[in-house]
């Protein structure tokens, strides 16, 4: 008998970054995370995470509680994908596509966690029994900071390389173009010769400015130029792609038609998306099919917690179309609980553990319960920890 979803709860966490670091668009003060826990009628629990960039998580929690959770409660795991599709179709009337995609991401990841547990295998094997079992991670950092010099930035980025990452990401776009070119050059000077960079413009440049920055750098050292122009400047990204710039776009996009435009019209080198924003692991599988016969590869964004990272790693371990996964050095909540081992003989490959499901669970007091369909759970205080 297929298990039914017997209980659904929402948990939140707040990471206080104190406004000490920023990118061209956001100065990070508080970063909230929203988790969804599904409990089936055999008392197994699956956990997922939702994209949450709001100043407070209240709107997303309320939306989950009133508009999403009632549709899944009491249904089987086999029903989850079809229910999500129906809700997405219905969103045309409600104009809530973005928040719905975030909410459904948490539900979908939690459902995959439960499916894999039911099969007594990790998510990546449930996705693809012939999967490679590892993911390529890159270190993500290089944000701006108060009185942060180029020398300090270079030390930070070189530490990523010395810890074993041969690919890392840094921000550009918050200073004058020449100053940002100097920042990137300062970093490249201290990295090993075989190390490469992803530079993230956070939608700050015109296409001409982005091309100027890229051509001022050694092209063989630049893996990708993320978000070099405005998010919907498809013509600008197409121009950059034709000029040889390895464009990576965007990060939190969820709309099918815009993903198609980025692949077909802009011909981006990397379609970057966040499993917690686009609709979850099921949507990542759809995007993989979309790019499989094109030069575009997938790259998965992670900028929150270990739950999001493990979901991305499982997806990548199952699918060679996924080129790499972001390992954030600032947004790194509960990363101490990760079970990732560097593959012997490889610098940037990390094996995903052969454990049931996601490999993480919600346990003690470092997250707060925001809502539960089981009122008696309101006194529980879980924390993310390895299983």
Q: pLDDT per position in the chain (387 positions), as tens? A: 789 999 999 999 999 999 999 999 999 999 999 999 999 999 999 999 999 988 899 999 999 999 999 999 999 999 999 999 999 999 988 888 999 999 999 999 999 999 999 999 999 999 999 999 999 999 999 999 999 999 999 999 999 998 889 999 999 999 999 999 999 999 999 999 999 999 999 999 999 999 999 999 999 999 999 999 999 999 999 999 999 999 999 899 999 999 999 999 999 999 999 999 999 999 999 999 999 999 999 999 999 999 999 999 999 999 999 999 999 999 999 999 898 888 776 678 899 988 999 999 886 678 999 999 986 444 344 444 554
- CATH numbers and ranges of domains, the chain: 5-121+359-386 (3.30.390.10), 125-351 (3.20.20.120)
Q: What is the pTM (predicted TM-score) of this model? A: 0.95
Residue indicated by tokens 């299983």: 387
What is the per-residue DSSP string for 222-255? EEEEES-S-TT-HHHHHHHHHTT--EEE-SS---
User: CB under 8 Å to 33, separation ≥6 — which residues?
Assistant: 12, 13, 14, 15, 49, 52, 57, 304, 305, 307, 333, 367
Give the model confidence (pLDDT) of 282-341 as tens digits. 999 999 999 999 999 999 999 999 999 999 999 999 999 999 999 999 999 999 989 888
Q: Which two tokens stand for residue 200?
A: 């993230």
Provide φ and ψ at 196, rounded to 5°.
Answer: -125, 165
| CA separation for the pair 357, 48 (Å, rounded) | 11
Q: State how far the alpha carbon of 161 is from the alpha carbons of 148, 165, 188, 339, 341, in Å.
A: 20, 5, 11, 21, 17
Cβ partners under 8 Å of residue 31, min gap 6: 14, 15, 17, 304, 331, 333
For residue 266, how many C-alpha atoms fall within 13 Å in the half-sphere facing its CB?
32
pLDDT of residue 364: 62
């Amino acid at each position: 008998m297929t298990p039914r979803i017997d209980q659904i709860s929402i948990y939140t966490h707040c990471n206080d970054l104190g406004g000490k670091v920023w990118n061209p668009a956001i100065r990070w003060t508080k970063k909230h995370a929203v988790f969804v826990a599904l409990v089936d009628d055999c008392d197994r629990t699956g956990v997922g995470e939702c994209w949450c960039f709001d100043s407070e998580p209240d709107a997303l929690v309320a939306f989950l509680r009133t508009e999403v959770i009632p549709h899944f409660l009491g249904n089987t795991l086999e029903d989850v994908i079809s229910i999500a599709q129906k809700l997405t179709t219905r969103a045309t009337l409600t104009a809530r596509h973005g928040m719905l995609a975030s909410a459904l991401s948490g539900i979908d990841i939690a459902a995959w966690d439960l499916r894999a547990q039911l099969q007594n295998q990790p998510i990546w094997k449930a996705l693809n029994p012939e999967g490679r079992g590892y993911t390529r991670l890159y270190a993500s950092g290089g944000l701006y900071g108060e009185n942060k010099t180029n020398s300090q930035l270079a030390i930070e980025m070189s530490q990523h390389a010395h810890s074993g990452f041969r690919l890392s990401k840094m921000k550009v776009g918050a200073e004058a173009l020449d100053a940002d070119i100097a920042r990137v050059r300062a970093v490249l000077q201290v990295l090993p010769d075989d190390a490469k960079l992803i530079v993230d413009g956070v939608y700050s440049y015109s296409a001409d400015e982005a091309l100027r920055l890229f051509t001022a750098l050694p092209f063989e050292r630049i893996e990708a130029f993320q978000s070099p122009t405005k998010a919907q400047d498809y013509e600008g990204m197409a121009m950059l792609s034709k000029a040889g710039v390895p464009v990576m776009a965007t990060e939190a996009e969820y709309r099918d038609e815009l993903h198609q435009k980025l692949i077909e019209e802009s011909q981006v080198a990397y379609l970057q998306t966040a499993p917690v924003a686009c609709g979850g692991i099921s949507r990542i599988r759809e995007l993989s099919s979309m790019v499989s016969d094109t030069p575009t590869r997938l790259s998965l964004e992670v900028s929150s917690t270990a739950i999001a990272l493990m979901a991305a790693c499982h997806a990548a371990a199952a699918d060679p179309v996924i080129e790499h996964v972001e390992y954030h050095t600032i947004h790194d909540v509960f990363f101490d609980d990760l079970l990732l081992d560097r593959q012997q003989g490889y610098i940037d490959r990390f094996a995903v553990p052969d454990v049931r499901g996601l490999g993480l669970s919600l346990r003690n007091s470092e997250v707060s319960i925001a809502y539960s369909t089981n009122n008696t759970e309101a006194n529980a205080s879980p924390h993310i920890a390895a299983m």
